[in-house]
Amino acid sequence: MGLKPYLCNMTKLSVNINKIATLRNSRGGNNPNLVNVALDCERFGAQGITVHPRPDERHIRYQDAFDLKAVIATEFNIEGNCKEQKFIDLVLANKPAQVTLVPDALGQITSNHGWDTIKGQAYLKEMVDLFKNAGIRVSIFVDPIVEMIEGAAKTGTNRIELYTEDYAKNFHSNKEKAIVPYVTAAKKANELGLGINAGHDLDLENLHYFSQNIPNLLEVSIGHALICDALYLGLENTIQLYLKQLNTHP
Question: What string of DSSP letters covers 82-98?
Answer: TTSHHHHHHHHHH--SE
> Is 2's pLDDT higher than 50?
no
Q: Which of 79, 161, 208, 219 does the annotation list as catalytic?
A: 79
In a domain? residue 64: yes
- What integer pLDDT is reported at residue 179 of this predicted model? 98
pLDDT surpassing 80 at residue 108: no
Which of 59, 75, 161, 200 does the annotation list as catalytic?
A: 200
Reported as a pLDDT band with limits 50, 70 and 90, residue 137 is very high
**230-236 mean pLDDT:** 98
- Determine the average pLDDT of the residues in 241-245: 97
Mean pLDDT to the nearest integer, 198-207: 97
Buried b (16+ CB within 10 A) or exposed e, 43-68: ebebbbbbbbbbeeeebbbbebbeeb
Residue 52 known to be catalytic: yes
CATH number at residue 46: 3.20.20.70
Q: Is the pLDDT of residue 111 over 60?
A: no
The amino acid occupying position 17 is: I
Residue 142 contacts residue 122 (beta carbons within 8 Å):
no
Q: Count structural domains, the chain.
A: 1
Domain assignment of residue 3, yes or no: no
Q: Which of 52, 59, 161, 208 is catalytic?
A: 52
Q: Is residue 145 part of a domain?
A: yes
User: Which pLDDT score, from 0 to 100, does residue 4 have?
Assistant: 52
Secondary structure of residue 137 in the 3-state scheme: strand
pLDDT tens per residue, range 18-33: 999 999 999 989 999 9
57 is catalytic: no
Residue 5 in any domain: the answer is no
Q: How far apart (Å, rounded) are the C-alpha atoms in residues 26 and 24?
A: 6
Task: Return the pLDDT at 1.
Answer: 40
Cα 161 to chain centroid, rounded = 7
Instruction: Give the model confidence (pLDDT) of 54-74 as tens digits.
Output: 988 999 999 999 999 999 999
- Domain encompassing residue 141: 12-246
108-116 mean pLDDT:
67
Considering the domain boundaries, does residue 7 fall inside one?
no
